[in-house]
Structure 1
Amino acid sequence: MTFRLIEIKPCDNTFFRDGNQFNKEISKIIRSKNTAYPSVFFGAIFTAILSENDDFRKIFFENNMYDHEKILEIGQVYLFNRKNRECYIKAPMDLFMDERNNITLGNFKKNNKYNSLKYKYILESPVNTKFNRLENMYININDIYDGYFKKQEFALELVDENQIFIKNYKVGIGINKENKTTEEGAFYQVEYTEFNNNEWSYIVEYNINYDYLNNNYKDVEIKKLDSGYLKLGGENKACQYKHLKNTYIEKFRNQEQLSGNLYKIIFTSETYFNENINDYLEKNNIIILGMSNGKPLYIGGYDMKGKKGNPRVMYKGFSAGTVILVEIKKDYNIQDIKEIIKCGNTKGFNNCIVLREEF
């Protein structure tokens, strides 16, 4: 499959909710994610396709099939620096940095100390306690297969989220639905996210399934997205989009590393499974030996069908940058492993890279 690239540049600040429910009795701030869940980009791009193709839009809604997940697939979402043309993803969570910005790679060691932990290996932090694990930084994709894979930490380019995003706040007031008056203590803040300068934007991989369209929407032509505007995230903020090519992404997608049976799988997007991750992977002959991850995510969303949309099942997921050390019990190639992690998801979740690991 060949993904097409689209650059998306918000015209204003954005509002990307996570899956956590807002409770005004507990919190006074509604948080906004730096980058929307990939399903948000899926919805924005598919809506743009409908907007740009009148005949297709008419038939799509008349058929009432809501087969959008068979028509469109989202791949990786990147942060893109327009000035240097470089692309970034969340940094792997087995990297550590000290106060002088020295970077070191943590090591998975056999767990001989903690009987309560379920994995055979644990990630050991550097002996120097001034090193902290990275969770809010981004890595240049050019450095994944060179500096990171080869354990040449000095060659890594990392960017802190605060160098890319800034937060703005607006005050909201809770209104009583019955008498339309202000509720007592119902003041809250809404957090908005924007890039800190015009150098930054998003790049999204997407693919239109023309084979499916030819079989189910005969004689309907769908134009690819070249340039225009779309709406993204909460409050439908306007964004400018345009098609582009990027040689760094082409190189990143075509890297292959395969030999042995021990690997690191690094989630490069938010990831969730319909069942326990250990059970799911073990059924597919992949055994988790160790993991380095952050706080769990709660991933939900809405279906297109219906006036207001039907809420989806809420899943407990893993953030981008999560690293799992695995043993492969079957003769898989890299693409086989990626497809197992992908679980058939077309909305941009469950992307990963797979690297050979040596001790």
Structure 2
Amino acid sequence: MLFKVSPLDNVYFGSGMPFSAGFESIGKSIFPPSPSVFYGAFATYYLSLNGMNSKNIAFVKENLRVKGLYYKIGGAWYTLVPMDLVIGEDAKNKGENEVEFLQMCKPIVKTDLEDEQMDLLYSVDKVDNVKGLIDDEAMSYYLKGKKECISFVPFKNFVKAEDKIGIKIEDRKCTVKESYLYRINYIRMAKDVKNFLDFVVDVECRGFSFPDRGLIKLGGECRVANVSKLNELPKFLDGTFVEEIKEIIKKTKMFKLILINPAIFKSGWKPDFSDLKTRVKLIAAAVGKPIRIGGWDLENKKPKVMSKAVPAGSVYYYKILDGPIDDLIEKVYNNGISDSRSNEGFGVSLLGGIV
């Protein structure tokens, strides 16, 4: 089920760094947030509707699953810009939002590690990574391998950081407590009433259906957000479109894997497909810097162990060596590719063609 999540106030999405009064004075917020933020929000939502007890906590752990995190601006669907799309220095200086594709080439320097040798993704011009979103239509073109003009929407058009300064008061003296001045970076999700960015969360809870409308607690300090059910799907998740991508991959024997959400891999930075019937070889990648993922363990009432994850938007290029691709399609679209915490939305991905 797809739910639109609309914050009613500024929100705080922690960066994973410790933040408590008297220890660290700055609470740094990040955007976009981790999918585990929404897993926690809907877990709390379920418990608020059914009661906070060990039985219901166990039910959530067993049956709740986040299957995707997307965005909406007005009536249009959006996703994060894949990392093999970049913006040229000239376009950036002119304030233009048109992106270009990185090109793939053989490495200049060869080593004796032939099995690990990968192609390079490069641009002849000076380019920068893009922090923003592309719409449903642009993503559909991208997944089909069409290198047409693709424009993006920068986060700065919709997301603004706003600081809050706070202090702690001595209860008995009603005076400021020394060393307890702090600052929190909040996120405001709209520049004005016409430019409002909403989250869309694909959430599944076996044996339970969330109400069509409601209120949830979102992010740090449990700020309130509206939740409303959506009945439509973005084009790139439609079954007919997935079949089109499948046919493109069958013809070319090559594909892209795009991380919609961050992923945690045993091998560090790349997925492991060794358990599939489809044999593939990684030939190139555009991967961002690792991010820190924490969280709160409802069952044991303590922080989760901090993990490193590959950021959303990272792209992997593969060549199919042998076997049918049905197993691959099933894994990517139904189960995700994260080796850990996949039920929280980590490892949700899309497949695209390389033509």
TM-score by length of 2: 0.81
In the alignment, the residues of structure 2 paired with residue 20 and residue 286 of structure 1 have an alpha-carbon distance, to the nearest angstrom, of 37
Deviations 1:230-250 (A, max 9, x none): 111100001111112224x25
CA gap of 1:313–1:253, structure 2 versus 1, over 3 A, is farther
CA gap of 1:286–1:68, structure 2 versus 1, over 3 A, is farther
Tell me if structure 2 keeps the 8 A contact 1:274–1:315: no
The residue type paired with residue 10 of structure 1 is P
1:171-320 to 2 correspondences below 5 Å:
171-173=165-167, 182-183=177-178, 187-196=181-190, 197-198=192-193, 199-210=196-207, 222-247=208-233, 249=234, 252-254=237-239, 255-256=241-242, 257-258=245-246, 259=250, 260-278=252-270, 280-282=272-274, 284=276, 285-306=279-300, 309-320=301-312
Instruction: Choose the corresponding residue for 2:105, options 101, 109, 113.
Output: 109
Mapped pair 1:16 → 2:9: no
Provide structure 2 residue ranges, at least 5 long, that are not aligned to the other structure: none
In the alignment, the residues of structure 2 paired with residue 89 and residue 228 of structure 1 have an alpha-carbon distance, to the nearest angstrom, of 24
2:128 paired residue number: 132
Tell me if structure 2 keeps the 8 A contact 1:103–1:153: no
Deviation at 1:106, TM superposition (A): 0.6
Deviation at 1:143, TM superposition (A): 1.5
TM-score by length of 1: 0.80
Tell me if structure 1 keeps the 8 A contact 2:143–2:352: no
CA gap of 1:24–1:261, structure 2 versus 1, over 3 A, is farther
Mapped pair 1:146 → 2:141: yes
Deviation at 1:142, TM superposition (A): 2.2
Deviation at 1:24, TM superposition (A): 9.9
Deviation at 1:47, TM superposition (A): 2.0
Mapped pair 1:332 → 2:322: no
CA gap of 1:23–1:295, structure 2 versus 1, over 3 A, is farther
Secondary structure at the counterpart of residue 75 of structure 1: strand
Mapped pair 1:159 → 2:150: no
In the alignment, the residues of structure 2 paired with residue 164 and residue 327 of structure 1 have an alpha-carbon distance, to the nearest angstrom, of 38
Deviation at 1:195, TM superposition (A): 1.2
Deviation at 1:261, TM superposition (A): 2.8
Deviation at 1:174, TM superposition (A): 7.7
Provide structure 1 residue ranges, at least 5 long, that are not aligned to the other structure: 211-221
CA gap of 1:251–1:31, structure 2 versus 1, over 3 A, is same
Deviations 1:282-334 (A, max 9, x none): 5654432221122211112121114xx22223221111110111233432225
1:41 paired residue number: 38
CA gap of 1:160–1:116, structure 2 versus 1, over 3 A, is farther
1:86 paired residue number: 76
Percent of pairs with identical residues: 22
Give the alignment's Cα RMSD to 1 decimal: 3.2
Tell me if structure 2 keeps the 8 A contact 1:105–1:153: no
